[in-house]
Structure 1
Amino acid sequence: MKLTISLQVTVDGVAQANGGNNDELDPGFTRGGWAIGAGDAAAAEYILETWQRPDAFLLGRKTFDLFETYWGARRDDGGFGQAISSTPKYVVSNSLSDPAWEYTTVISGDLTSQIRALKSASEGELLVVGSVALARRLLEHELVDELNLIQFPLIVGQGESFLPRQGRDFALDLKDSRVFPSGIVALTYGVGGRPQYA
């Protein structure tokens, strides 16, 4: 299974609270909702198509809880709710044991070996959406095959970045790029190998 990370980010790399402020999940962060103001139907359709494509989703616990509450209640909406509710989901958690959201399997313990086993068990695509901390962890353990970054044309100046200030280096191979009317840019990269340095 190909593992793809698909995240909405700002030009300064912030991936936090794109849909709005949440005091419980993002205490002290007041610049949430930065993706909502774009009003770009073509970009929204592209993101929906990305959600409709995978054979399974992989989510961190916080994102799972947020999505279950919001998208799980919209399972017949013909859009994001239906795409994620009707597709198998894997949630990474050491405390969740019996999830109520249908088609959900809990992954606990040694994440790296379990994800490797999941990837080798079948064909298709395993998609990570949201779940910034999980995305970083997967990248650091070299489990990611593809990055799909939807970059919004703004700098928020604070918040959690997708990539840490220090970490492993990766060579990226641009596989696809799209520019939408609002200035949103979708960049899809293959991940592999190390960059060449002078």
Structure 2
Amino acid sequence: MKLKTITQLTLDGVTQGNGGSTEEDRTGGFERGGWARGAGDDTTRDHIAATFERADAFLFGRRTYDILFEFWGAMEDLKRHPIGVALNSKPKYVASRTLTGPEWENTRVLGDDLFAAVTELKASGDGELQVHGSSRLVQWLLDKDLVDEMELIVIPVVLGQGARLFADSGRDIAMNLVDSRSDSKGVMIQTYRPAGRPDYASF
């Protein structure tokens, strides 16, 4: 399967708290959550729903998995939404050393050898294995050269605080732009494919 990450982020690269600040966020001093709520027009919302529907399986970090389950897996009205239908009916894989006995149907917790597990998933067939949110997992997947495509949904706001998609230090990766669009509210959706290391010039 093709591994594709889908990430909502601000212009300054923040991914934390797109839907709102959790108690854990506020305890850590982050109080600017909810910056993606109401962002984008109908074309962007339709695109996001269609993306979930297109997935053959999902891969999440533990925190994103818990947040999604709280909404899409537990609220009856959201279960009937196209995103809820996709999340509830398709296989979900979780990268976690602490989750045992997951309540959400069709969930499998990956073992300690995450690299082997993800590599096996990618080799298991055609289709798309999607990673939504899960920024620390995305950083790890990039570092291990496991990402085939990245979709960045960029919300036109500068947050000034919060966890960012790209770590302060990590692998350097060149990216080829595959697709780019923007909506009437200034939300940009850009799709990239990793293309090895960048070329560096010298003076």
Q: Are 2:199 and 1:196 aligned?
A: yes
* Residue from 114, 138, 157 that aligns with 2:160: 157
Residue 71, structure 1, aligned to residue 72, structure 2: yes
Partner of 1:38: helix, strand, or coil? Answer: coil
Per the alignment, residue 53 of structure 1 pairs with 54
RMSD over equivalenced CA pairs, Å: 1.3
2:34 alignment counterpart: 33
Within 2, Cα distance between the matches of 1:155 and 1:3? Answer: 28
- Structure 2: distance between partners of 1:176 and 1:164: 24
Letter in 2 for 1:32: G
Deviation at residue 31 of structure 1 after TM alignment: 0.5
AA partner of residue 10 (structure 1): T
Deviations 1:40-98 (A, max 9, x none): 22211111111111100000111111111111024632322112111110011112222
Answer whether contact 1:73 1:81 (CA < 8 A) is retained. Answer: no
Identity fraction in percent: 46
Query: How many residues matched?
Result: 198
Match of 1:170 among 167, 173, 194: 173
- Structure 2 unmatched runs, 5+: none
Structure 1, gaps ≥5 residues long:
none
Describe the superposition over 1:141-190 as per-residue Cα deviations: whole angstroms up to 9, x where unpaired.
Answer: 11100000000111001000000111111111111111101000000001
> For the Cα contact (< 8 Å) 1:61–1:92, is it kept in 2?
yes
- Give the CA deviation at 1:26: 5.3
Residues 1:106 and 2:109 are matched in the alignment: yes
2:134 counterpart residue number: 131
* Paired position in structure 1 for 2:91: 88
Alignment partner of 2:112: what SS?
coil
2:61 maps to 1:44? no
Does residue 1:122 correspond to 2:125, yes or no? yes
| Equivalent residues of 1:148, 1:186 under 8 A apart | yes
**Cα 1:26–1:106 shift into 2, 3 Å:** farther
Aligned mates of 2:26, 2:165 — CA distance in 1: 15
CA distance in 2, matches of 1:110, 1:4: 20
SS at match of 2:74: helix
